[in-house]
Structure 1
Amino acid sequence: MKLVIQGKNIEITDAIREYVHQKIEKAVNHFQNMTTEVDVHLSVARNPRINSKQTAEVTIYANGTVIRAQEGSEDLYASIDLVADKIQRQLRKYKEKLQHKKTHDQPKTGIVVEQVPVPDDLIGDRTAELPSDVVRMKYFAMPPMTMEEALEQLQLVDHDFYMFRNAKTGEINVIYERNHGGYGVIQPRNGNGHTHHKNGKTAQQAESTGEKSSTF
């Protein structure tokens, strides 16, 4: 298992590196068979008005799935403890879902499901060109998935939104947590200014017939 530690506004000392290895390796110990890489990002905010100044973020690549957790506090070591516990819960939840899916979704005899490997180099020979106010860019594989699968991914990455390629339409969608509870989905409009409804109608046609749009 590859473990990468990076820092922002902080020097990664031997003591910090050893503590991260100890905590993170313990957290993923029972999940190493499905974990390929673990990225740890430690940062200290320079803004004195930010309460959780010292942040620990862990991103795990497991079987082509990205699992992420982030915690912050006034103490870096406490943040590492918190994020290690959180990522362990996320991994356990992910493994339970895999086992449940395997049990209830066995392929019929004679059917072989081919898994498409995720390339190690996702950006190829492209060069990232960032606007001056963008400080970080990430690249992820974006295999087609259903909205239900996208919702599961949203819950794994510890964000309030998740971008994915809709398996039904081939378009890029964004699923997000609504402020008042539940989830919403952002879909692109086609050339005539209409969005497609799940039964083939546009959103405007669906509204005229009293149907609901495809949001959670």
Structure 2
Amino acid sequence: MKLVIQGKNIEITDAIRDYVNQKIEKAVNHFQNLTMEVDVHLSVARNPRINPKQTAEVTIYANGTIIRAEESSENLYASIDLVADKIARQLRKYKEKRNHKKNHGKPKEIEAEVLNEPPVVEDLIGDRTPELPAEVVRTKYFAMPPMTIEEALEQLQLVDHDFYMFCNSETGEINVIYERNHGGYGVLQPRKTNGNNSNGASRESGTKSQAANA
């Protein structure tokens, strides 16, 4: 198993490295046959007086599946303890689902919601001045093999996020599956249009707003 430890605004000392190795190896010990690579990202806020949280994030690459967990606390070692326990639960859940699929075949289809395109709003910002983030704080790259909506839902439940972007194997399009505020899951799918759409930004913003309130 390959273990990679990275830090942001923190020096990865030998003591921290040894503690991460001890905790993460214990967490994945019973899943060695599933685990190919483990990435650990430790970070602290630039100004601890404003934000004392210290975060431990673990991403595991297991046979084409990404399993992720993240925890924060005011103590880095406590965060490592919490995330190790969480990733162990995620791995156990993943293994149980794999075994269930082997024994019972393909799971039944889920009911996914496709959001309808909202009316075009001509002026979304009024007299406000649009502002972009000062900088891109992090960029992530990941493989996007085609998968069904059912497989994307399983992946969403493993990555510890409230949404998951995937390539729909039935349409070849990029979709987003997300947790709805009032329970259940929704799927964002692109609507095909004829020609160029000059109101693309407005439509996109409207769709995101609708998704957030769904």
**TM-score normalised according to structure 1 size:** 0.74
Deviations 1:157-189 (A, max 9, x none): 001110001111110000111222221111111
Aligned twin of 2:43? 43
Which of the residues 143, 152, 166 maps onto 2:154?
152
1:72 deviates by: 0.2
* Paired residue secondary structure (1:170): coil
Q: Greater shift after overlay, 33-42 or 138-147? A: 138-147
User: Partners in 1 of 2:38 and 2:3 — Cα distance?
Assistant: 5
Aligned twin of 1:96? 96
User: Partners in 1 of 2:163 and 2:101 — Cα distance?
Assistant: 24
User: Partners in 1 of 2:59 and 2:14 — Cα distance?
Assistant: 21
1:132 deviates by: 6.4
User: Partners in 2 of 1:86 and 1:139 — Cα distance?
Assistant: 23
Deviations 1:39-78 (A, max 9, x none): 0000001244435x10000000000100000000000000
Extract structure 1 runs of 4+ deviating beyond 3 A.
47-51
Q: In structure 2, list runs of 5 or more residues that go unmatched.
A: 107-132, 196-213
User: Partners in 2 of 1:179 and 1:11 — Cα distance?
Assistant: 38
Which of the residues 178, 181, 196 maps onto 2:180?
178
Is 1:138 matched with 2:140?
A: yes
Q: How large is the RMSD of aligned CA atoms in angstroms?
A: 1.8
Identity of aligned pairs, percent? Answer: 83
User: Partners in 2 of 1:192 and 1:95 — Cα distance?
Assistant: 45
Provide the aligned length of Structure 1 versus Structure 2: 169
**TM-score normalised according to structure 2 size:** 0.75
1:92 deviates by: 0.3
Aligned twin of 1:29? 29
User: Partners in 2 of 1:57 and 1:156 — Cα distance?
Assistant: 13
* Paired residue secondary structure (2:32): helix
User: Partners in 2 of 1:8 and 1:159 — Cα distance?
Assistant: 21
User: Partners in 2 of 1:132 and 1:89 — Cα distance?
Assistant: 37
Q: In structure 1, list runs of 5 or more residues that go unmatched.
A: 107-130, 194-215
User: Partners in 1 of 2:51 and 2:191 — Cα distance?
Assistant: 38
User: Partners in 2 of 1:179 and 1:65 — Cα distance?
Assistant: 26
User: Partners in 2 of 1:188 and 1:95 — Cα distance?
Assistant: 33
Matches within 5 A, 1:1-80: 1-47=1-47, 48-50=49-51, 53-80=53-80
User: Partners in 2 of 1:175 and 1:105 — Cα distance?
Assistant: 23
1:190 deviates by: 0.8
User: Partners in 2 of 1:182 and 1:158 — Cα distance?
Assistant: 16
Is 1:166 matched with 2:171?
A: no
User: Partners in 2 of 1:92 and 1:179 — Cα distance?
Assistant: 26
Amino acid at match of 1:79: S
Amino acid at match of 1:8: K
Amino acid at match of 2:152: A
